């Protein structure tokens, strides 16, 4: 490995891959290639184009800290504007010229100190350092419903939206009631002749305003000081900390306040008592990823909307047959059923040193030391990897903190302090033991629900501590976990 100019490959050109490419260039690395399986940047915001697509993070916080966007149209950013933002940012920082599009990595093997990569096209490449920015929500989850292939209408997953299908005046069934399903219902209510929302278990809805920024406001936001004042970073970060406290302590004041807001929203927004009870969740708020919506309850009460709680028996040529025997005749069926959030880099085959296999290492559950690195997979770093914070806050902010951590690891390689860097199995086991124990004290585990946060053994897979602990862990690596002394400058200053 060249100490100053190692060969670096980044897998993925979504939010995290763009960030990695920008930061690597800023830090003086020049031998960089991003590989992206699609034909353009953007990741989940490129793939998802369904009606009503909106991020539930306030617009001005869903940007890179070094590239704020004064041009958002609304308080919550619409999906197309997010995609435009990433495309514009990638072009501004030269990410496009570093990226090979249409190249999907299928295999990575660590041999003789380098990562050897194979791609579906037959292309091969090698790298000293491999950064996986492959995302979390990119493998659609299709429900196993008998008879789906017999449906005569249009059937699509929300992440594979077919814009050639006309929706106005159609009879539409939406299966799934996470944020995606809720946003689609809100967008289509009143436009469809019939709009049915199929829910196994209703979710808590947190009310949120989604106002429009005026032209004058957007013009003012071009002044960084005005934008900073409008953002009120301290207030937002206090809200993030309160959110994570709610997850880790169901009896905390923030948890009680959020639960009351959700309950009041249900009680005050839904007028029909029978429908209100159908929409009442049977679990604690925040047990599932909280759904934020300004208008779902209004949309589901539209005269042409209908909530369906009966289980789906099968799909027939004319529509959906529910467990009560009723045939719901439909023209369009939408799966808003989410993603395989446990796949991460898979289905890639990844083999580390000493014959280590990622599939074997993740046989029980996906795991990583502090969500970034793994034993026996040296010089492989993940952005938004397993067990990192996932919630109703900005994953861009999470990735930036993780990059600060990764940058310090890369610095040790660059300084020739080592040729390989990976955590010890002891550090990994200690972290995993603490993480699982903490996860069993979260609302995700104790709140009485089943969600995509849970792994195959029912253990919550997301970061089980508060946000402050995450930022502290990312601020400086525990070098002993990597078998390294503290960097020389730090050691001398401490003396």
Q: What is the mean pLDDT of residues 168-175?
A: 98
| Percent of the chain residues topping a pLDDT of 90 | 91
Residues found in the chain:
495
Q: Could you tell me if 71 and 218 are in contact, meaning their C-beta atoms sit under 8 angstroms apart?
A: yes
The strand pairing partners of 373, in sequence order, are: 369
CATH class of the 148-335 domain in this structure: alpha beta
Q: What is the mean pLDDT of residues 301-325?
A: 98
- pLDDT of 452 reads 83
- pLDDT of 4 reads 67
Tell me the three state secondary structure of residue 108.
strand
The backbone region for 102, taken as left when phi is positive above 0, alpha when psi lies in -120 to 50, beta otherwise, is left
Q: Are strands 291-293 and 305-308 parallel, antiparallel or unpaired?
A: unpaired
Q: Could you tell me if 376 and 354 are in contact, meaning their C-beta atoms sit under 8 angstroms apart?
A: yes
The per-residue pLDDT for range 146-160, each reduced to its tens digit, is: 999 999 999 999 999
In the predicted model, is pLDDT for residue 405 greater than 70?
Answer: yes
The strand pairing partners of 197, in sequence order, are: 174, 307
- pLDDT of 340 reads 78
- H or E, element range at 433: helix 425-439
- pLDDT of 489 reads 61
The per-residue pLDDT for range 52-108, each reduced to its tens digit, is: 999 999 999 999 999 999 999 999 999 999 999 999 999 999 999 999 999 999 999
d(CA 225, CA 324): 59
Angle at 385 between CA 372 and CA 40, to 5 degrees: 115
- pLDDT of 391 reads 74
In the predicted model, is pLDDT for residue 269 greater than 50?
Answer: yes
- pLDDT of 494 reads 41
How is residue 22 written in tokens? 């920008």
DSSP at 460: B
397-403 CB contacts, 8 Å cutoff, 24+ apart: 397/61, 397/65, 398/470, 399/15, 399/16, 399/19, 400/19, 400/64, 400/65, 401/470, 401/471, 401/474, 402/371, 402/372, 402/474, 403/19, 403/20, 403/23
- Domain positions in the chain: 8-139+340-494, 148-335
In the predicted model, is pLDDT for residue 488 greater than 90?
Answer: no
Q: Per-residue confidence at 346, pLDDT binned at 50, 70, 90?
A: confident
Q: Per-residue confidence at 3, pLDDT binned at 50, 70, 90?
A: low
Q: What is the mean pLDDT of residues 187-206?
A: 96
Mean per-residue pLDDT over the chain, rounded: 95
The per-residue pLDDT for range 450-467, each reduced to its tens digit, is: 988 888 899 999 999 999
d(CA 419, CA 435): 29
Q: Could you tell me if 134 and 344 are in contact, meaning their C-beta atoms sit under 8 angstroms apart?
A: yes
- pLDDT of 137 reads 74
CATH class of the 8-139+340-494 domain in this structure: alpha beta
């Amino acid at each position: 490995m060249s100490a100053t100019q190692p060969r670096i490959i980044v897998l993925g050109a979504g939010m995290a891959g763009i960030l990695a490419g920008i930061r690597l260039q800023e830090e003086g690395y020049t031998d960089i290639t991003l590989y992206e399986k699609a034909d353009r940047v953007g990741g989940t915001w490129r793939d998802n184009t369904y009606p009503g697509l909106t991020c539930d993070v306030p617009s001005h916080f869903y940007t890179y800290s070094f590239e704020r966007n004064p041009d958002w149209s609304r308080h919550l950013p619409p999906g197309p504007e997010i995609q435009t933002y990433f495309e514009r940012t990638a072009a501004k920082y030269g990410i496009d010229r570093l990226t090979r599009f249409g190249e999907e990595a299928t295999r990575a093997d660590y041999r003789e100190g380098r990562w050897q990569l194979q791609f579906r096209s037959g292309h091969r490449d090698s790298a000293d350092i491999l950064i996986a920015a492959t995302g979390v929500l990119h493998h659609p989850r299709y429900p196993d419903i008998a008879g789906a292939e017999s449906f005569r209408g249009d059937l699509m997953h929300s992440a594979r939206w077919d814009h050639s299908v006309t929706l106005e005046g159609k009879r539409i069934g939406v299966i799934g009631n996470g944020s995606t399903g809720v946003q689609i219902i809100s967008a289509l209510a009143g436009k469809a002749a019939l709009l049915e929302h199929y829910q196994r278990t209703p979710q808590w809805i947190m009310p949120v305003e989604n106002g429009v920024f005026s032209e004058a406001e957007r013009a003012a936001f071009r002044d960084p000081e005005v934008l900073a004042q409008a953002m009120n970073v301290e207030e937002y970060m206090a809200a993030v900390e309160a959110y994570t406290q709610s997850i880790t302590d169901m009896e905390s004041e923030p948890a009680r306040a959020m639960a009351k807001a959700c309950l009041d929203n249900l009680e005050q927004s839904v007028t029909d008592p029978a429908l209100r009870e159908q929409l009442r969740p049977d679990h604690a708020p925040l047990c599932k990823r909280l759904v934020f919506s300004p208008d779902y309850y209004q949309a589901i009460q539209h005269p042409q909307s209908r909530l369906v709680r009966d289980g789906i028996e099968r799909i027939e040529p004319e529509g959906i047959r529910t467990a009560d025997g009723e045939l719901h005749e439909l023209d369009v069926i939408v799966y808003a059923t989410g993603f395989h959030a446990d796949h991460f880099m898979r289905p890639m085959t990844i083999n580390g040193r000493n014959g280590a296999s990622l599939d074997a290492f993740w046989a029980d559950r996906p795991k990583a030391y502090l969500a970034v690195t793994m034993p026996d997979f040296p010089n492989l770093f993940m952005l938004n990897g397993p067990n990192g914070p996932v919630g109703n806050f900005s994953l861009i902010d999470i990735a930036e903190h993780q990059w600060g951590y990764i940058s310090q690891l890369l610095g040790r390689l660059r300084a020739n302090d080592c040729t390989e860097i990976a955590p010890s199995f002891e550090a990994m086991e200690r972290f995993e033991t603490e993480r699982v124990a903490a996860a069993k004290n979260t609302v995700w585990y104790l709140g009485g629900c089943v969600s995509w946060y849970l792994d195959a053994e029912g253990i919550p897979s997301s970061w089980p501590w508060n946000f402050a602990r995450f930022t502290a862990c990312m601020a400086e690596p525990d070098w002993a976990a990597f078998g390294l002394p503290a960097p020389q400058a730090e050691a001398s200053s401490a003396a």
